[in-house]
């Protein structure tokens, strides 16, 4: 009989849906599955939402207090898909209870909190993952493969962006994503950290940053509690009380890598016309790579030794011959979606648990990314380069 792992999922919003889809879908794509995810209990502070989530997302039980679930001996894996300010307390309690943990990004409100989380999972000896799922887009894993095989030679530079427009409207409400005490930071923690994950995954450790931040919309109509509707529900009238936004709407940073490469990383949620414009362009001594998540089946490649009358970017579509192709769709360009990135993430995490190996990105990566995010904010405030003292795992 195939091993089953009981999942307790904390949070029944956007990511609750994405992770549940992955638990259901993973064995359908990757068979034999490393272990079968069993949707045991979903928790949400909102009881109505918890009850609906159990029915809709396929969980046997629902609860409103995560503590009950974290301490339930039947649970093997705790999945944290709640707003950022709750991650540390839940993860530390789950580690103490001996549960394996997958936690949504950003890992914490800052590096200090992330370090405590890392220490807790290390002390407990449990498996830990941070859900930077975009690196599991097959075309991105293909870029990694090319770089590791030396196909573009030594990497010289990385240019990464994450551009969205869902909050460009000043009437897009002040949800938890605009409150420092809940989110930690703005575009930086919410979307910029995905680009930092790409940069570290594909190039190397970031050692220095020099950044600018901007808050374009200083106040927004208040949203009290509930799921963040990501700008789809606007405040209805000018009478809705407003409150200050105390996080960044946009940042741009220059970066230096420990490999000697240089680069830029930027993110904004105020870029009209951009939706999930998560991109990188990497130049190496022997070629270049370009990826845009809005066209996520495609990796654009250019090799320096192509004949000069045919040299230029061409498109390689991910499919059966590219990473994760064994489990996905049988023809290139049939379409990789957000769901597939979460399915692959679940597959790799359950494999790490079953085979007793390390998952990456894990809490150490989450901690390093928090150090970089903190340094970006410090750099923007001081208007100077910040050197990151590399912290040993």
d(CA 9, CA 102): 9
Site string for ligand SOE, 152-191 (x = CB under 6 A): ------------x-------------------------xx
- In the bound complex, what is the minimum distance in angstroms from residue 377's beta carbon to ligand SOE? 18
User: Cα 277 to chain center, whole Å?
Assistant: 14
User: Could you say which residues in the range 36-65 bind ligand NAI, by CB under 6 A?
Assistant: 43-46, 49
Residue 179 in contact with ligand NAI, rule: CB under 6 A: no
Residues binding ligand SOE: number (CB under 6 A)? 5
Orientation angle between helical segments 363-382 and 193-202, nearest 10 degrees: 120
Given the complex with ligand NAI, which of 227 and 255 has the nearer CB atom? 227
Q: In what order do the strands lie in the sheet with 206-214?
A: 314-317, 298-303, 287-292, 277-284, 155-163, 262-268, 250-257, 206-214, 386-387
User: Shortest CA distance to 69 belongs to which of 36, 101, 26, 37?
Assistant: 101
The C-alpha angle 16, 50, 223, rounded to 5 degrees, equals: 75
User: Cα 130 to chain center, whole Å?
Assistant: 7
Residue 228 in contact with ligand NAI, rule: CB under 6 A: yes
Given the complex with ligand SOE, which of 124 and 369 has the nearer CB atom? 369
- Binding residue for ligand NAI (CB under 6 A) from 8, 34, 37, 83? 83
CA 145, 313, 315, 275 torsion-angle sign: positive
d(CA 280, CA 293): 9
**Options 12-20, 142-150, 248-256, 355-363: segment touching ligand NAI (CB under 6 A):** 12-20
Given the complex with ligand NAI, which of 133 and 207 has the nearer CB atom? 133
Residue 340 in contact with ligand SOE, rule: CB under 6 A: no
Could you say which of ligand SOE, ligand NAI, none residue 191 binds, taking C-beta under 5 to 8 angstroms by partner kind?
ligand SOE
Given the complex with ligand NAI, which of 196 and 386 has the nearer CB atom? 196
d(CA 233, CA 76): 37
Under DSSP, the state recorded for 1 is -
Residue 281 in contact with ligand NAI, rule: CB under 6 A: no
Given the complex with ligand NAI, which of 12 and 366 has the nearer CB atom? 12
106 φψ region: left (φ > 0), alpha (ψ -120 to 50), beta (else) = beta
Whether the Cβ atoms of residue 16 and residue 10 lie closer than 8 Å to each other: no
Given the complex with ligand SOE, which of 76 and 104 has the nearer CB atom? 104
Given the complex with ligand SOE, which of 133 and 207 has the nearer CB atom? 133
By beta carbon distance, the residue nearest ligand NAI is 13
Under DSSP, the state recorded for 131 is -
Query: Alpha carbon of 11 to those of 80, 148, 308, 339: distances in Å?
Result: 7, 37, 54, 18
Residue 12 in contact with ligand NAI, rule: CB under 6 A: yes
Q: List 47's β-bridge partners, or say none.
A: none
User: Cα 298 to chain center, whole Å?
Assistant: 20
Residue 374 in contact with ligand NAI, rule: CB under 6 A: no
The contacts of residue 92 (CB under 8 Å, 6+ apart) are 116, 117, 120
User: Could you say which residues in the range 108-137 bind ligand NAI, by CB under 6 A?
Assistant: 131, 133
- In the bound complex, what is the minimum distance in angstroms from residue 8's beta carbon to ligand SOE? 22
Q: List 244's β-bridge partners, or say none.
A: 219
Residue 372 in contact with ligand SOE, rule: CB under 6 A: no
Residues binding ligand NAI: number (CB under 6 A)? 24
- In the bound complex, what is the minimum distance in angstroms from residue 164's beta carbon to ligand NAI? 11
Structure-token match 């991109």, residue found: 279
- In the bound complex, what is the minimum distance in angstroms from residue 250's beta carbon to ligand SOE? 12
Residues that bind ligand NAI in the complex, under the rule CB under 6 A = 10-15, 43-46, 49, 66, 81-84, 86, 104-105, 131, 133, 190, 227-228
Residues that bind ligand SOE in the complex, under the rule CB under 6 A = 164, 190-191, 194, 230
């Amino acid at each position: 009989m195939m091993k089953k792992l009981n999942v307790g999922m904390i949070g029944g919003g956007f990511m609750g849906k994405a992770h549940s889809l992955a638990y259901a879908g993973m064995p359908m794509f990757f068979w034999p599955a490393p272990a079968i995810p069993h949707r045991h209990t979903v928790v949400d502070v909102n009881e109505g939402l918890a009850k609906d989530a159990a029915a809709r997302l396929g969980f046997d039980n629902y609860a409103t207090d995560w503590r009950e679930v974290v301490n339930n001996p039947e649970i093997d894996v705790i999945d944290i898909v709640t707003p950022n300010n709750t991650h540390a307390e839940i993860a530390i309690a789950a580690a103490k209870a001996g549960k394996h943990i997958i936690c949504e990004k950003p890992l914490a409100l800052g590096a200090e909190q992330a370090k405590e989380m890392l220490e807790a999972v290390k002390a407990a000896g449990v498996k830990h993952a941070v859900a930077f799922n975009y690196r599991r887009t097959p075309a991105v894993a293909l870029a990694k493969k090319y770089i590791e095989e030396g196909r573009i030679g030594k990497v010289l530079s990385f240019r990464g962006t994450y551009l969205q427009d869902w909050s460009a409207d000043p009437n897009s409400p002040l949800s938890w994503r605009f409150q420092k005490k809940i989110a930690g930071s703005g575009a930086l923690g919410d979307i910029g950290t995905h680009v930092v994950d790409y940069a570290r995954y594909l190039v190397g450790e970031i050692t220095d940053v020099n950044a600018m931040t901007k808050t374009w919309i200083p106040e927004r109509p208040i949203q009290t509690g509930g799921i963040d509707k990501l700008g789809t529900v606007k405040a209805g009238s000018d009478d809705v009380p407003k409150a200050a936004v105390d996080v960044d709407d946009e940042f741009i940073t220059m970066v230096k890598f420990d490999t000697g490469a240089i680069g830029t990383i930027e993110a904004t949620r105020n870029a009209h016309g951009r939706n999930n414009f998560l991109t990188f362009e990497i130049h190496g001594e022997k070629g270049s790579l370009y990826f845009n998540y809005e066209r996520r089946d495609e990796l654009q490649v250019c090799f320096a030794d192509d004949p000069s009358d045919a040299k230029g970017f061409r498109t390689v579509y991910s499919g059966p011959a590219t990473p994760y192709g064994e489990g996905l769709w049988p023809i290139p360009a049939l379409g990789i979606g957000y769901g597939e990135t979460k399915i692959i993430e679940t597959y790799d995490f359950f494999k790490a648990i079953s085979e007793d190996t390390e998952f990456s990105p894990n809490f150490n990566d989450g901690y390093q990314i928090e150090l970089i995010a903190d340094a970006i904010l410090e750099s923007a405030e001081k208007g100077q380069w910040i050197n990151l003292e590399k912290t040993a795992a």
